[in-house]
Structure 1
């Protein structure tokens, strides 16, 4: 088909009057100015961003993008008018990355593109009509203009997403390094510098929580986003270590609720720079097999205290229970259990019998045996203290 004189056509069948293209190109600076002005008026987050040098760069970018489109629309052979050229796409992509670094969301970017597209089309279509573009061509031109801008906005969103992901990874790595500093005994200056690099505001307290690897995601979902996760902590195999800010006092109840039935162990709340002590206690509780009934190490303080030095506890048991050493093992075990119950129940025979599932007379008989073996020592406060400590935690079988 012969092409009418003075018109350009593309593979999509769009035919643009050369005069209209030239006229629109002449008005691009004004179009860009009007678009940016309206974006500033309608998207508050851009009010300051588009002032000064940034505004000038945006106006130039709008002009270049539209000029690139007009170059395609005016007859570059084989061109797909819906697809911007590489420079325009790269510019839009970098714009999206810059927006992410500035802290603006993709909603703001897309709003700016919608407003800019509307303004650009209003101005360019008026120019095109004045230059003699017919209705059918104008409709096709509109479709391609908006498809082109859609492609640019998609490139900006991709840039925003990529920058956000990169920033997220960088910050996550900084947070992991901070957690490491908190645990490895680094100086206060080093820890504070790590806080600043990670953009992490120090809390009042931190609580160390050991969580099975399979439970980390649901637990993190129930905790504050400022929770730190320590990576590659020596001594941990199947657990992850979380450092949870400000769950001291009444807030601890909410923490324990989030950990319920997840096999986790929570250390005590400590001043944030001393969180290593919280981790040490949680790890000891885990090694001792505590936490089957509750994730709270505070519920196991006697066990933790009495097992702090296993060798000392073993020596104490041996010395305190020396009067039973010559008995047969079965007899020694029964008397040891009775003595322990007697100490814990403050000598109340009925309570001791109930705890041991025996008759009160059996308790009386066994206590007579114990008094024969220990003599007056069972009335000595120092001996009672030693026996209470020795028998406070049942021996590991």
Structure 2
């Protein structure tokens, strides 16, 4: 970049530039004193390394400006000022202190030029051009610093995201990773170790869809073969509502809350619930495993459940399908909601006399089996599984 034409067309004599350059030390001291006095972030008189960095930056800025007065068309290396922006990002600040320091430096430089204008014989036109050039140069320094700042922030965010991704892999590994390794990586990723977590399995077809902003402590695994989230302290204030809002419209399953070291277990249950939802056993949309634990247990070993159903539902096998459905529905309601005909009738929305008739049929088919608590338990498992399959 070249300084604007009003300066380049009125080249500053080399001897004047040499005179200005000879006063760099004093101008540099003035600029540094102004910065340390007015900008608290840079007031570190006891930090020798920091003082040296500030002085070097100021000297480079002034020296670079004078170089460009000597040769406005010379190439300019913005890298030192990009490094300043990167340094601000590393310090955890925004760019306002650095920009304020640059403005202070420009004002000090302009003040010194006006003081020297007479002794140096600078014409008003030349002086105005120099003032304009100072602020053009200031904009270029600020642009370079902003570029470095944004680069550093993006790099930092990318590195932090990679650390959090590795942390998620570690938490979901089987067997579980060591607590010390988890703690070290969590610290590097800026993630507070929670007491409990819940994992969310996301439908693969929609896992990469953009979710609304999630709390910063939620670990995201959108790029995993099976997309997922890990939510710390799921029972914490507002966590459930925040998660439900973020997942609204998505096909997902929220696993049970478990200790941190059992995160993989929560994800496994969430994945199984999501698969049952795909098959139609559980409803589509957003599922909570805690609301469907019985179904998840029943379908954990479908072959075993089928074998159990074949034995326990054998007394119904010879009936017509419609009769099987009515009696199975009545028996399940009786097992789940009590043995009173009125209570069962209310659950099924039929007349109590209808329930009494069906119960007499069931007593004839099952006999004393209905008084055995173990058989009643097995019957409920078989009937729940049958109900889920028919609901597909």
TM-score by length of 1: 0.85
Cα distance in 2 for residues equivalent to 1:27 and 1:334: 101
- Whether 1:253 aligns to 2:240 is yes
Secondary structure in 1 aligned to 2:201?
Answer: strand
Is 1:93 aligned with 2:82?
A: yes
* 2:241 equivalent to 1:241: no
Say yes or no: does 1:368 pair with 2:368: no
Q: Distance in 1 between matches of 2:76 and 2:337?
A: 83
For residue 166 of structure 1, report the CA deviation from its aligned partner: 1.5
User: Which of 189, 209, 227 lines up with 2:200 in the alignment?
Assistant: 209
Aligned residues: 377
Q: Distance in 1 between matches of 2:336 and 2:262?
A: 34
Separation of aligned partners in 1, 2:206 and 2:107:
50
Residue of 40, 43, 50 corresponding to 1:44: 40
1:265 is aligned, of 240, 247, 253, to 253
Shift of 1:17: 5.1
Separation in structure 2 between the aligned mates of residue 273 and residue 49 of structure 1, nearest angstrom:
47
Does the 8 Å contact 1:14/1:141 carry over to 2? no
Partner of 2:100: 111
Offset at 1:10?
A: 7.5
Aligned mates of 1:287, 1:50 — CA distance in 2: 63
Displacement after TM superposition at 1:354 (Å): 4.5
1:337 correspondence with 2:329: yes
Is residue 208–residue 222 contact of structure 2 (8 Å, CA) maintained in 1?
no
**Taking structure 1 as reference, are residues 265 and 107 closer, same or farther at Cα in structure 2, changes over 3 Å only?**
farther
Offset, 1:204? 2.5
Question: What residue is the counterpart of 2:187 in the other structure?
Answer: 196
Please say if 1:396 is aligned against 2:355. Answer: no
Residue by residue, what CA displacement relative to the aligned partner does 1:25-54 show, whole Å, maximum 9, x if unpaired? 111111112212222222222223994123
1:224 aligned partner:
215
Q: CA deviation at 1:385?
A: 1.9
Contact 2:186 2:193 in 1 (8 A): yes
CA-based RMSD of the aligned residues comes to 2.7
CA apart distance, 1:214 = 4.8
- Residue deviations 1:327-349 (CA, integer Å, cap 9, x gap): 34343232212211222231332
SS at the partner of 1:207? strand
1:305-354 deviation per Cα after TM superposition (whole angstroms, max 9, x unaligned): 22222222222222222222333434323221221122223133234334
Contact between 2:199 and 2:229, CA under 8 Å: does it hold in 1? yes
1:70 paired to 2:66: yes
Instruction: Answer yes or no: is 1:318 the counterpart of 2:299.
Output: no
CA-CA distance at 1:133 after TM superposition: 1.7
Q: How is 1:17-166 mapped onto 2 (pairs within 5 angstroms)?
A: 18=14, 20-48=16-44, 51-74=47-70, 76=71, 79-80=72-73, 85-87=75-77, 89-166=78-155
Q: Distance in 2 between matches of 1:49 and 1:287?
A: 63
Deviation string, structure 1 residues 209-260 (Cα, Å, up to 9, x no partner): 2345657676451x311221125434x2xxx311122222554432334434
The aligned residue for residue 163 of structure 2 is 174
Unaligned runs of 5+ in 1: 1-8
How far does residue 145 in structure 1 lie from its aligned partner after superposition? Answer: 1.0
Deviation digits for residues 261-306 of structure 1, max 9, x if unmatched?
Answer: 4333221222223211211111111111135365322222222222
Distance 1:107 1:207, change over 3 A: farther
Identify which of 256, 266, 269 aligns with 1:278: 266
TM-score normalised over the length of structure 2 = 0.86
Given that 2:218 and 2:231 are in contact with CA atoms closer than 8 Å, whether structure 1 keeps it comes out as yes
Give ranges in structure 2 of 5+ residues lacking alignment: none
Cα distance change, pair 273–85 in 1 and its aligned pair in 2 (3 A) = farther
Residues 44 and 50 in structure 2, CA contact (< 8 A), matched pair in contact too: no
CA contact (8 A) 1:40 1:50 kept: no
Change beyond 3 A, Cα 1:55–1:124? farther
Out of 303-312 and 133-142, give the one that drifted further.
303-312
